[in-house]
A = this chain, B = another copy of it.
Amino acid sequence: MTTARIQEFLATRRPPSPCLVVDLDVVRENYCAFRKALPDSRIFYAVKANPAPEILRLLASLGSCFDTASVPEIEMALAAGATPDGISFGNTIKKERDIARAYRLGIRLFAVDCVEEVEKIARSAPGSRVFCRVLTSGEGAEWPLSRKFGCTPEMAVDVLARAARLGLDAYGVSFHVGSQMVDTGAWDDALADARTVFDRLGEKGITLRMVNLGGGFPTRYLKDVPSAETYGRAIFDALRDHFGNRIPETIIEPGRGMVGNAGVIKSEVVLVSKKSDDDEVRWVYLDIGKFGGLAETMDEAIRYRIVTPRDGDITEPCVLAGPTCDSADVLYEKAPYPLPVSLTIGDEVLIEGTGAYTTTYSSVAFNGFEPLRSYVI
């Protein structure tokens, strides 16, 4: 998964460690695969996954739309060449003054999941389109979504009815099956719920037109994942099952699926040690950890593929940790990571599939370490 271009960049430029290198060719391939897999869906790239200007510019030039979480993300998308009608303010938690700022920037598409948010939008972004996020179970996702976003389908009916009464355009529903979702059937239940909301609002004379299928498309870490094509087929089948021949407009919001496999982090082994003479596992300390960009190892949720210069040698289970003085800065301990016994201080390792949710999670300067550097090639 480390492309030839990334390999060449690392070999010739020798950037200081740690750093992330993103290959735009892979982003382009991913975009095209989504477009092909779901030709009738509009693609809103989830900017939060990786807001590097080069990535945003490429995607804007390919015709992508953008799902944003804040006003700065809206501004980044605009700066990259997106037009306001291709940007969604997809965060359900917004300060009213940020809604007003977004509206002044031309944004007319907002996510909501409660009446209170609808009221803010009606006041500060009058007439805009809103879609209501519906809770899903998140089962089968490797980075589960909990109940933080969304409301029950029953409540979504009230929320969208209120939006319509307040002069907003009750546009549709959204859901998110959970990030890194590997069960292609996950969209089926959510679409059944979406159909229910469509029907209930139809009875009130309100015609929804859009289903936002969210993100969740996985990237390959250690295990193979289904292709965009496989997802596309499953989603299309589920749409037809639930909406028959009145399939609504659809939106997808890939983030991880768009850039995850496009990036590789180069890191250095800082220390290899044992805690006592009879310890069974070795401790391997890298120059990047949970606070330097690998936040998604929290609870050992995401298990990255690590390539070392000693691959092929006998391996041994290792606890993998970051370089800070924080005891929570341990990457894999409950399930130790098999690494070559010959791995040694100073070795360079590649952490693959790290194009998404790394640079921006990185802390400002925890322990004095600078944020993760990034090169987009």
Contacts and interface: CB of A to CB of B under 8 A. Distances in A.
A37 interface: no
Given A298-B298, A363-B360, A363-B362, A114 B371 contact: no
Contacts of A295: 291, 363
Contacts of A51: 365, 368
Interface string A17-59: 0000000000000000000000000000011100100000000
A276 B327 contact: no
Contacts of A138: 327
Most buried by B among A46, A149, A368: A368
A148 B90 contact: no
Contacts of A287: 95
Contacts of A179: 327
Interface of A: 46-48, 51, 68-73, 76, 90-96, 113-117, 120, 135, 138, 143-152, 154-155, 179, 268, 270-277, 283, 285, 287, 291, 295, 298, 319, 321, 323-330, 333, 345-346, 359-371
A326 B359 CA distance: 15
Tell me which of A47, A91, A148, A361 has the highest count of chain B C-beta atoms within 10 A of its own C-beta: A148
A32 to B, nearest CB: 25
Question: Per DSSP, are chain A's interface residues mostly helix, strand or loop, or mixed?
Answer: loop
Given A325-B149, A368-B47, A270 B94 contact: yes
A116 B272 contact: yes
Nearest to A215: B325
B368 A72 contact: yes
B69 A327 contact: no
A136 to B, nearest CB: 11
B366 A360 contact: yes
| 6 nearest A-B residue pairs (beta carbon) | A72-B368, A114-B273, A70-B368, A73-B368, A69-B367, A152-B276
B366 A361 contact: yes
Q: How many copies does the complex hold?
A: 2
A178 to B, nearest CB: 8
Nearest to A364: B371
A109 to B, nearest CB: 15
A319 B155 CA distance: 19
B276 A324 contact: no
A145 B327 contact: yes
Given A145-B327, A287-B95, A361-B291, A154 B277 contact: yes
Nearest to A148: B327
A319 B48 CA distance: 24
Contacts of A135: 275
B327 A146 contact: yes
Contact of A271 (B116, B325, B330, B345): B116
A276 to B, nearest CB: 4
Contact of A325 (B48, B272, B327, B371): B48
A266 to B, nearest CB: 14
A365 B374 CA distance: 14
Nearest to A76: B368
Contacts of A319: 147
Contacts of A324: 48, 69, 91
A148 B48 contact: no
A48 B365 CA distance: 9
A48 B359 contact: no
